[in-house]
Amino acid sequence: MTVQITILGLGQVGSSIGLALANQKNIKRVGHDKDYEIARLSQKAGAVDEIKVNLPSSVSNANIVVLSMPLSEIRDTLGYIAQDVQEGTVILDTAPAKGEVASWVGQLIPQGRYYVGLSPAAGSNYLHGIELGVDSARADLFKDGLFLVNAPAGTPSEALDLASNLVRLLGAQVMFTDSVEADGLLASTHVLPQLAAAALLDATVSQPGWTEARKVAARPYASVTAGIAYHDEVKSLRDAALSNRENTVRMLDAYMTSLQKLRDQIQNGNEAEVSSYLEDAVKARDRWIQERARADWQGAQQSDMDSVTLGARMNQLFMGNLFGRNKNKK
């Protein structure tokens, strides 16, 4: 049996998933994007075997559906495909708000289809740069990276196995969480940096001196404000912040407390404290960069199987368990 993976949203993440699976002989990659030109470019790049213009028909024969699109589009997409997703299908997403998406799936998708949330972190080779879109898709985008994997209570273990094996096919490690933990982690590492970039821009471009300051704003300014460019649409970042409001506010409070601490040290002219604050920050960043490069995470699971074995395992899991589970219910 050939396992069909339908990827909805063929930007950098969706197309990179497709490219990473290109050599899997028992996996058929079907793609859909609301922008047909993006879908065409993705297919031309080799990220999908086939593109479908019609959204419901793109998922009707899928064993796995990957929602790789802005958070703002996921609820409507689930509504459009709800009646066309076959029993036993595993629905995955890469959005930065796992609790919200899990709730939508529960409301909109019929029983017998299973949701597993994925939160991807690219490999260390791709930590820098702000490329977006299908042109920036890479087969090794997730190599030595890590995915948070979580699912609602009661999700069959087979669905989690299937999602985990897919992650390993992409070259990444698996870290199991629940949606609450995942949303907390994403608020601090995904949402907060982008909001901080927006706040810095707001604080500087509104100043009377910006007319001249913009002429000398260089690499430090560009690096720190780059975070706001990681979203194709402002509403996606807005929705990520608002849907995960409690965690977002908590991290904003922590960030403002740290800024206030630094402000007070500078205002008081305390050279030793300012030096300590900055040196600690540099050491923390260096340590994190080194840890990301090693990708040796306690609690993360790596695979000792090669990609061919993993592909076969995915096939066995789907046919032997998920599909059979639903046939037995009839």
What pLDDT was estimated at residue 297? 76
Cβ contacts of 327 within 8 Å, gap of 6 or more = none
Task: Please provide the average confidence, as pLDDT, over all residues in the chain.
Answer: 90
Cα gap 50→43, rounded to integer Å: 7
What pLDDT was estimated at residue 305? 47
Fold classification of 3-177+305-329 is Rossmann fold (3.40.50)
Residue 205, CA distances (Å) to 212, 225, 242 in order? 10, 12, 25
Q: Which two tokens stand for residue 82?
A: 């709800």
Cα gap 113→156, rounded to integer Å: 10
Amino acid at 260: Q
What pLDDT was estimated at residue 330? 46
Cα gap 198→229, rounded to integer Å: 10
* Helix (H), strand (E) at residue 71: helix 71-81
What pLDDT was estimated at residue 94? 96
Q: Which two tokens stand for residue 231?
A: 């979203």
Cα gap 269→214, rounded to integer Å: 28
Cα gap 311→326, rounded to integer Å: 22
What pLDDT was estimated at residue 228? 84
Cα gap 19→182, rounded to integer Å: 26
Task: Evaluate whether 3-177+305-329 and 182-294 have a shared fold.
Answer: no
Locate the domains of the chain by residue range: 3-177+305-329, 182-294
What are the b/e assignments for 200-227, b being 16+ CB within 10 Å? eeeeeeeeeeeeeeeeeeeeeeeeebeb
Mean pLDDT of successive 10-residue segments in the chain (330 residues)?
93 96 93 96 97 96 95 95 95 95 96 96 83 88 95 93 94 94 95 94 94 94 85 80 95 98 98 97 95 79 52 58 53
182-294: CATH superfamily: 6-phosphogluconate dehydrogenase C-terminal like domain (1.10.3660.10)
- Backbone φ and ψ for 4, nearest 5 degrees, come out as -95, 125
In this prediction the pTM is 0.89
**pLDDT tens per residue across span 202-247:** 999 999 999 999 999 999 999 999 888 766 668 888 999 999 999 9
